[in-house]
Amino acid sequence: MTNPLLQDWQTPFELPPFDAIRDDDFAPAVDAALDQARAAIARIADAPEPSSFANTIEALEAADAMLNRVLGVFFNLAGADSNPARQELQRAFSPKLAQYGSEITMNKALFERIEALWQARDTLDLTEEQARLLYLTRRGFVRAGAALEGEAAERLKAVKERLAVLGTQFTQNLLADEADWSMPLAEADLEGLPGFVVAAARAAGEERGAGGPVVTLSRSVIVPFLQFSPRRDLRETAWRAWSARGANGGDTDNRAIAAETLALREERARLLGYDSFAAFKLETEMAGTPEAVEDLLMQVWQPARAAAMADAEALTEMLHADGINGALEPWDWRYYSEKRRKALHDLDEAELKPYLQLDRMIEAAFDVAGRLFGLTFRPVDAPLYHPDVRAWEVLRDGRHMAVFLGDYFARASKRSGAWCSAFRQQQRLAGDIRPIVVNVCNFAKPSTGQPALLSWDDARTLFHEFGHALHQMLSDVTYESISGTSVARDFVELPSQLYEHWLEVPQVLARHATHADTGAPMPYDLRDRLLAAATYDMGFQTVEYVASALVDLRFHQGAAPADPMARQAEVLEEIGMPAAIGMRHATPHFAHVFAGDGYSSGYYSYMWSEVMDADAFAAFEETGDAFDADTAGKLERFILSAGGSAEADALYTAFRGRMPGVEALLRGRGLDKAA
């Protein structure tokens, strides 16, 4: 029987044949693809001809094409629709793939061919993109340990393999904790909750077969419950469970994994000649150094903390007015903040939510992309990996640009959070290959027959992830290694955070924010109140984020802490963390940092990008038109289509003419006047 993962895919747009793929197909497909990739690497490394850009760098680009295709399917399914078989496969694949990566980067003959090209680079008549790829390829090999010898090389290989195992284990532990916990709600416990919160709890109960409404640890369920439940005891139970993910003892506890991960990262950095993992990691980012990151975060921390402390005083007065003595607690903040928002801005999420239908917000994201970049979206009828997933063909002037998949609803088999990924990336080396992009979110699934309603934060998340998708869809480079979102970590969030701004454009809301029952557009006064409250509670939001970013950074500076939880507590005390605010991501569930290397020492990157996104949207505002064609053209040319074909600061400067300062960020968050 043939393995569908290894065959040509006779499907619409060569989508993976999801209906034909079985979990048993993955292991033999990965083994076969690894064998194919290893053979290709050997041919490159052992070639008798002198190295050339074509027979070495371009050949490397093509060497693992089949492996990338197979893993593109597997890892997308493992994150968005996991099951025990896929989790077992992920644990088996992690060290195997890390070993393969080490084999390549520590292949001395291969590195010698790359180094020969690097030394002769000025004589090779390379295009700018080719020169960039050569530079990045050599840098990647050096940073992976290609120049190490003997015992140091072997130790680095072992460290990387162990880190891959730990990252997988961390992710699976977190998924297990999130899937296993729920809090049943009696009918009396639903009193005081808006209809959409009750509906989300009932739908979560249906999805889990609980026989009644439940609160789960999905952000789309637990956050509204914390905002609206008048039952302080239930809020405390829910918040404690949410904050304890990964720290419940037993087989799913992540604290020892975090400690070992930090120690191995420090060892990895020192083997490569760096003083700390933060210094190693940040060398290739826009920030460049841990000191630059610390400077940015502290410039934002002080005004954010001042704003949060002032808000805490007001919320504490409300708590005491309810007859509750004592301090404001983390499970109180969202509840009293929601009440205060309604009092200050006459804005009630229960009034707002019916105007934020999921389908209409998807249409809004598509409409903005059409007005800015000329894209159109046509539904695709094809087998997909889950019944909730939808697909669209993306076109421009009749030309196929991409396939876009949307997987929007929370389920127990999906890891928490929201992300953009790709089953296939854009490139031209093997023909005009257009991407297959997926946005994965965790919105509350409605009861059968009811429309899915989003919070304002949910709608922003949808636009955010679609900004990442556009970065993939509009990519226009030759080499996959530098296509789409293959850019510096502190630059990758610019397109996504920039795209969020269009959700607040009045004509977008006027066209797409329509009531789920009546179809009427959002009233002007409600829209104005919504936009006026855009920076409400921004002290809280900024504090919980920056605290997480500072803990991440300081974890990776200097010696790794033997006890990460104790170090986390020290950092929070040093910066004066308000007692009533929890970190957005505490260490045992900080998947950005511990599920892999992606955001390690790099969680700050959302804020680094925000410095740019506030300034970038101002480029449109300065024209008087949020859809100015010339500015949109420059945005596509210099950022969205360029991938990693040049340094991030050069790309941004080409778009805007200069780099921005932190002032635009503080103004955008309403923190410019905080003490």
For residue 291, give both structure tokens. Answer: 């000191």
Q: Are 263 and 597 in contact (CB under 8 A)?
A: no
For residue 200, give both structure tokens. Answer: 């989300």
**Dihedral sign of CA atoms 450, 455, 457, 460 in order:** positive
SS3 (DSSP) at 144: coil
Q: Are 464 and 500 in contact (CB under 8 A)?
A: yes
Distance CA 615, CA 486 (A): 22
Distance CA 669, CA 666 (A): 5
- For 253-267, the DSSP string reads --HHHHHHHHHHHHH
Angle at 435 (CA atoms; ends 433, 441), nearest 5 degrees: 170
Which residues are designated catalytic?
465
Q: Are 213 and 202 in contact (CB under 8 A)?
A: yes
Contacts 24+ apart (CB under 8 A), 373-379: 373/470, 373/474, 373/632, 373/636, 373/640, 375/401, 375/473, 377/404
User: Which strands make up the sheet holding 436-443, listed edge to edge?
Assistant: 375-379, 390-396, 399-409, 436-443, 419-424
The number of beta carbons lying within 10 Å of the beta carbon of residue 557 is 18
**Closest listed residue to residue 58, CA positions, set 13, 9, 124, 122:** 124
User: At what angle are helices 26-45 and 65-80 packed, to 10 degrees?
Assistant: 150
Q: Please enumerate in sequence order all residues whose Cβ is within 8 A of that of 73, keeping only pairs 6 or more positions apart, or say none.
A: 5, 16, 21, 423
Distance CA 216, CA 213 (A): 10
The region that residue 560 occupies, defined by phi over 0 for left and psi between -120 and 50 for alpha, beta otherwise, is beta
Helices (H), 521-647: 524-532, 538-555, 564-575, 591-594, 605-621, 629-635
Helix (H) and strand (E) counts for the chain? 27, 7
The number of beta carbons lying within 10 Å of the beta carbon of residue 591 is 21
The number of beta carbons lying within 10 Å of the beta carbon of residue 275 is 13
